[in-house]
């Protein structure tokens, strides 16, 4: 339930944006910020956009916790048919 900020380059080919979305879904108090037209190393590839995104993140209150997604129910082994 600890607040988490995820800052991701939308054009990341090494670790695609879908992973960031999955990470956000799994962390109950996460907020995802993306940088358009930026790849895997936003601070280096898009320093101005990265700095603007970081300043925006730091100026906002932390994301609030939301209920964690429920884990899928475990399958029960089939009971044998005994006479």
pTM exceeds 0.75, yes or no = no
- pLDDT digits over 10-61, tens only? 999 999 999 999 999 999 899 999 999 999 999 999 999 999 999 999 998 8
Q: Cα separation of 55 and 72, whole Å?
A: 38
Q: Cα separation of 5 and 59, whole Å?
A: 12
CA distances from 68 to 11, 72, 73 (A): 28, 12, 15
Of 66, 68, 36, 40, the residue nearest 52 (C-alpha): 36
pLDDT beyond 60 at 68: no
């Amino acid at each position: 339930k600890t607040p988490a900020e995820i800052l991701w380059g939308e054009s990341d080919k090494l670790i695609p944006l879908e992973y960031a979305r999955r990470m956000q879904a799994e962390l109950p108090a996460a907020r995802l910020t993306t940088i358009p037209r930026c790849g895997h190393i936003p601070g280096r590839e898009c320093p101005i956009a990265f700095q603007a995104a970081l300043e925006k993140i730091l100026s906002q209150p932390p994301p609030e916790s939301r209920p964690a997604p429920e884990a899928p129910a475990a399958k029960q082994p089939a009971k044998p048919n005994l006479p």
